[in-house]
Structure 1
Amino acid sequence: MHCQPRYKGPVYIWLKNKQSCLLCDEAADGDTPLCMACETELPWLGDHCQTCALPLPAAGLTCGQCLKQPPAFERVIAPWTYSFPIDSLITRFKHSAKWPFGHLLAELLAQALQHRFENDLPRPDLMLPVPLATRRLRQRGFNQAAMLARWLGSRLNILGDERLLLRIQDTDAQQALNANERRKNLRNAFALAPDASVKGLHLALVDDVLTTGATAQALARLLMDAGAARVDVYCLARTPKPGDTI
């Protein structure tokens, strides 16, 4: 039964639409809304700690903090340092709900992860977004880590679980605290969902920025104590110094 009128005009097809760069508004070179010139000038993370991704002067090194106190997570994957324009894009995504910026960054992170999977990085069984405090979630209206995990999962075909990790305490904002204060602030802040099982699983925590690593450490320790085989951390950016705040 032909109940729809016939239409012989041009049809708008999103996948064939010419993309514009979200940074300079020039024509993008491919399907990703970012031109080659802007992509080249992003603050790509160079040589860094093999564990926590802290920028270091040479490749293949482990920072002093990770040597002294090895974290519960195995490896941090972050494409960029937290500097312009990545810091601005993340801020606008998180605090102004500019989701296209977050989607763009997630796409580039997915490309970086896929490249690593094809080389030396094992694929995780499950991705877990860092849970947001209830008060912060109510104010913001969304969890940026959960959105990143959804985009990454769709692009990389890796399952995600937004309910496995719980934030059971609304802690003070981390931005104004140093590394020691952040660790104390997060003590007993997280828990596993009832009946959750992670035994023997390789898990990946997803977040936007790694600063001191206190949040990643608290969650990774919780998961490892629950029987996880390995925990990695996937984030958009790494602050240049452990004490930098965002």
Structure 2
Amino acid sequence: MGLLGLVLPSRCAVCGVPGSAVCPRCDEGLVRIGPPVCERCGCPGAWPVRRCVECAGRRLGFDRARSALVYEARARRLVSAWKERGRRDLAPTLAAIVADVLARPEVDALTFVPGDRERGRARGHVPSARLAEALAALWELPFEGLLTRTGAAPRQAALPRRARAANVREAFAPRDTAPRRVALVDDVYTTGATASACARRLRQAGARRVEVVCLARAVR
């Protein structure tokens, strides 16, 4: 714990009440994603399907994706505190939520979606990297930085759905040879465009199976 943590009490990242990083009331209010879900992209639905309306007809680079939370109001506030308001202390808590909801992937290593360098410097950390590192410790899996950004790109959140795939198509490159089975960790799954672009680069680097693990997922 840093000096600031000794002086100022921790507050819930969702509601601000003093105490734990996520208070019991807000933790209970977070919407966990459980079965049934789409076999491919993990979208929750009324019944299990191999492909859902979110991923049918799309050429996705990953084998399957799973997310722990629905990206609704509480989860949005939680992610905003973590990514934009400097709550680097949240990574272990968020990793524990993911590990409680999702089964440990049968992979050789965990890696992460690399963040934009400028935004990483402004935030003081790369959220996806810290989440992957914390999950690797919980799941007792190797943690490896297998990808890098090739340059700055407009933020995905500012783009319409159809433009997101083109925006990230050339945004990533492999840094090293990838293990045969890799889990790619990210914070929020929106359209799957970023995860798919990263998965394709991991396959170019030698991966034969790529699973995606996310904290939260936007559900239309």
Residue 104 of structure 1, aligned match among 93, 101, 112: 93
- 1:141 partnered with 2:124: yes
Q: Which residue of 2 aligns with 1:42?
A: 30
Equivalent residue number for residue 154 of structure 2:
172
Distance 1:172 1:156 in 2: 33
Q: Which AA in structure 2 matches 1:170?
A: A
Seq. identity, %:
33
Query: Structure 1 residue 156 and structure 2 residue 139: aligned?
Result: yes
Give runs of aligned pairs for residues 1-246 of structure 1, distance below 5 A. Answer: 22=12, 34-35=23-24, 38-46=26-34, 47-113=36-102, 116-117=103-104, 122-162=105-145, 164-193=146-175, 196-198=176-178, 201-241=180-220
2:89 aligns to what SS in structure 1?
helix
Q: Deviations over 1:46-103 (max 9, x none)?
A: 4332211223232345213433124121111211110121111111010111133332
Count of residues in Structure 1 that have an aligned counterpart in Structure 2: 208
TM-score (norm 1): 0.76
The answer on whether the counterparts of 1:90 and 1:102 sit within 8 Å (CA) in structure 2 is no
1:130–1:207 CA contact under 8 A, matched in 2: yes
SS in 2 for 1:90: helix
Contact 2:32 2:101 in 1 (8 A): no
Amino acid at match of 1:198: A
SS class of match (1:204): strand
2:7 matched to which residue of 1? none
Unpaired runs of 5+ in structure 2? 1-9
Give the AA of the match of 2:99. A
Report if aligned partners of 1:43, 1:84 keep a CA contact under 8 Å in 2: no
Give 1:223 shift. Answer: 1.4
Which whole-Å deviations, capped at 9, do the CAs of 1:133-169 have from their partners, x for residues lacking one? 122122222100111011111111111112x201011
Q: Mark the structure with the bigger radius of gyration.
A: 1
- Please give the alpha-carbon distance, in whole angstroms, between the structure 1 residues aligned to 2:96 and 2:11: 14
RMSD across aligned C-alpha pairs, in angstroms? 2.4
- When normalised by structure 2's length, the TM-score is 0.84
Deviation, structure 1 residue 34 = 4.8
Secondary structure in 2 matching 1:56: coil
CA distance 1:34–1:156, change in 2 (3 Å)? farther
Q: Deviations over 1:91-142 (max 9, x none)?
A: 10101111333321111112233xx24xxxx421111111011221222221
Residue pair 1:78, 1:234 contacting (<8 A) in 2 also: yes
Task: Flag structure 1 segments of 5+ consecutive residues without an equivalent.
Answer: 1-19, 242-246
CA contact (8 A) 1:89 1:102 kept: no
